[in-house]
Amino acid sequence: MHVCKFSRVSILGLALSCGMLAQTGSRLMSKSAVGAGPSTPSRAADEETLRTLNEKLLTAHDHADVATLDRIEADEFTLAGDFGTVAKKAHLDRLREPNYKTEAVDRKITSQEIRLYGDVALISETDHAHTADGTFDFQTSSVWVRAGESWRVVHMHYSALAKK
What are the boundaries of each domain within the chain? 12-160
**Length of the chain measured in residues:** 164
Cβ pair 108, 128 in contact under 8 A = yes
Task: For residues 26 and 135, give the distance between their C-alpha atoms in angstroms, rounded to a whole number.
Answer: 38
Q: Which CATH class is domain 12-160?
A: alpha beta
Cβ pair 114, 88 in contact under 8 A = no
Cβ pair 51, 114 in contact under 8 A = yes
Q: What pLDDT shows up at residue 93?
A: 96
Q: What is the DSSP letter of 3?
A: -
Region 79-99 average pLDDT: 94
Confidence band, pLDDT 50/70/90 cuts, at residue 4: very low
CA angle at 134 for the pair 79 and 6, rounded to the nearest 5°? 35
State pLDDT tens for residues 41-57. 589 999 999 999 999 99
- Nearest Cα residue to 141 out of 156, 160, 153, 161: 156
Q: What is the DSSP letter of 63?
A: T
Q: What pLDDT shows up at residue 83?
A: 87
Look at residue 18 and give its three-state secondary structure.
helix
Look at residue 35 and give its three-state secondary structure.
coil
State pLDDT tens for residues 108-140. 999 999 999 999 999 999 999 998 888 899 999
Q: What separation, in Å, do the N-terminal and C-terminal C-alpha atoms of the chain show?
A: 24
